[in-house]
């Protein structure tokens, strides 16, 4: 069987994301880099950001639907994914034990808000515009004996181990440290995913540091005490100002509107205000009444130059 790699080209891809594509090519496989109509991407991105407070909804919609649709077109039955998100990050036990991916599991995933591509069809967006990320035809999937498996069920899924392997073919981590969370090798390909992670902080009271620290505790590489220290220091950190500016330019909103939407999606069950009108998380694991005055992530000069 001849291997084929498929990547989805986001409009907010970083230079490091482009550079790291070379690592994929170096492993010796055929490669398709797919880009959808930018006008459609931006239209849905704006609508989903205002409706759900999600900067990356369209990316996840594409990831889960573009691949099976291309599998049908190319008559490819076996598709390999990395980790099962339910198993790696938490979720319903039934879904975390699934060996293969399936439409029902994906459609019910919170990341898609149970809002599939068909729901965006309107006077501005036709069914043809959405064809690449409409839900795949189940009968056609059966006809090609479609089997989407998770590699994480065949060997322990470990980002640090994965990075050591990827580095051998040219993959590079971020020189100045993690862009969000604890891993310098994660979230490098797209600017909008960093904003997506930040909104978890507003909606649920935790961010990428909690995700990564929990993973490290399970792998016995980090103590709970140290994890809480890292969470207190970094979990509320904001995306780079340049990423926010780029996103606002992409969907044509002001930065003021961006923060209006951000504060709209703060869960008031966990977020409270003190007498100075400052936000804090009530009974936060890393310290009650710690003010949400975290700074923005600083980009390196090289990263800033790329965005100009």
* Torsion of Cα atoms, 205 then 209 then 210 then 215, to 10°: 160
Instruction: Let me know if residue 162 belongs to a domain.
Output: no
Q: Are 189 and 141 within one domain?
A: no
How many CB atoms sit inside 10 A of residue 233's CB? 12
Q: Are 94 and 142 within one domain?
A: yes
- 19 pLDDT band, cuts 50/70/90, is confident
Compare 78 and 99 and report the one with higher pLDDT.
78
Alpha carbon 80 to its chain centroid, in Å, reads 18
Q: Are 80 and 22 within one domain?
A: yes
Q: Are 185 and 145 within one domain?
A: no
Q: Say how far apart CA 214 and CA 198 lie, in whole Å.
A: 17
Three-state DSSP at 122 gives coil
Q: Are 223 and 140 within one domain?
A: no
The reported pLDDT for the residue numbered 262 is 97
Instruction: Let me know if residue 170 belongs to a domain.
Output: no
The reported pLDDT for the residue numbered 7 is 80
Instruction: Specify which residues 80 forms β-bridges with.
Output: 149
Q: Are 108 and 195 within one domain?
A: no
The reported pLDDT for the residue numbered 92 is 63
Instruction: Let me know if residue 188 belongs to a domain.
Output: yes
The reported pLDDT for the residue numbered 180 is 95
117-148 tens-digit pLDDT = 888 999 889 999 988 888 889 999 999 999 99
- Write the CA distances from 186 to 8, 90, 120, 173, 212, integer angstroms: 16, 18, 30, 8, 10
Q: Say how far apart CA 167 and CA 26 lie, in whole Å.
A: 11
How many CB atoms sit inside 10 A of residue 125's CB? 17
The reported pLDDT for the residue numbered 99 is 61
Q: Are 149 and 216 within one domain?
A: no
Instruction: Let me know if residue 169 belongs to a domain.
Output: no
Q: Are 281 and 203 within one domain?
A: yes
Q: Are 132 and 201 within one domain?
A: no
**34: DSSP letter:** E
Instruction: Specify which residues 264 forms β-bridges with.
Output: none
Can you tell me which residue has the tokens 């999606």? Answer: 265
Average pLDDT for the chain:
89
Domain's final residue, options 95, 119, 153 = 153
Beta-strand (E) ranges in the chain?
4-8, 30-34, 78-81, 147-150, 271-273, 279-281
The reported pLDDT for the residue numbered 150 is 87
Tally of domains in the chain: 2
Compare 12 and 264 and report the one with higher pLDDT.
264
Q: Are 138 and 235 within one domain?
A: no
Instruction: Let me know if residue 163 belongs to a domain.
Output: no
Instruction: Let me know if residue 300 belongs to a domain.
Output: yes
- Write the CA distances from 96 to 29, 88, 104, integer angstroms: 29, 8, 13
Domain's final residue, options 153, 186, 219 = 153
Average pLDDT over residues 79-96: 74
Q: Which domain holds residue 91?
A: 4-153
Instruction: Let me know if residue 164 belongs to a domain.
Output: no
Q: Are 102 and 185 within one domain?
A: no
Q: Are 126 and 63 within one domain?
A: yes
Instruction: Let me know if residue 192 belongs to a domain.
Output: yes
């Amino acid at each position: 069987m001849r291997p084929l790699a498929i990547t989805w080209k986001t409009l907010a891809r970083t230079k490091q994301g482009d550079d790291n594509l070379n690592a994929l090519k170096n492993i010796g496989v055929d490669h398709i880099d797919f880009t959808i109509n930018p006008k459609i991407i931006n239209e849905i991105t704006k609508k989903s950001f205002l409706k759900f407070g999600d900067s990356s909804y369209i990316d996840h919609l594409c990831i889960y639907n573009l691949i099976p649709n291309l599998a049908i077109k190319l008559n490819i039955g076996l598709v390999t994914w990395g980790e099962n998100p339910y198993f790696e990050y938490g979720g319903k036990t039934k879904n975390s034990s699934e060996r293969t991916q399936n439409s029902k599991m994906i459609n019910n995933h919170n990341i898609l808000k149970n809002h599939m591509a068909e729901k965006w069809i309107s006077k501005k967006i036709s069914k043809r515009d959405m064809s690449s990320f409409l839900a795949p035809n189940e009968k056609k999937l059966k006809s090609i004996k479609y089997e989407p498996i998770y590699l994480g069920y065949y060997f322990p899924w470990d980002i640090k181990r994965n990075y050591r392997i990827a580095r051998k073919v040219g993959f590079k981590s971020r020189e100045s440290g993690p862009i969000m969370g604890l891993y310098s090798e994660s979230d490098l390909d797209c600017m909008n995913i960093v904003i997506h992670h930040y909104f978890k902080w507003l909606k649920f009271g935790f961010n990428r540091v909690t995700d990564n620290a929990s993973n490290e505790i399970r792998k016995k590489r980090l103590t709970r005490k140290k994890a809480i220290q890292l969470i207190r220091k970094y979990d509320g950190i904001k995306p780079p100002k340049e990423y926010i500016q780029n996103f606002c330019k992409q969907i044509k909103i002001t930065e003021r509107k961006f923060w209006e939407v951000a504060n709209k999606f703060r869960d008031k069950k966990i977020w409270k205000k003190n007498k100075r009108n400052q936000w804090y998380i009530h009974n936060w694991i890393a310290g009650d009444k710690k003010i949400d005055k975290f700074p923005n992530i600083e980009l390196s000069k090289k990263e800033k130059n790329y965005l100009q």
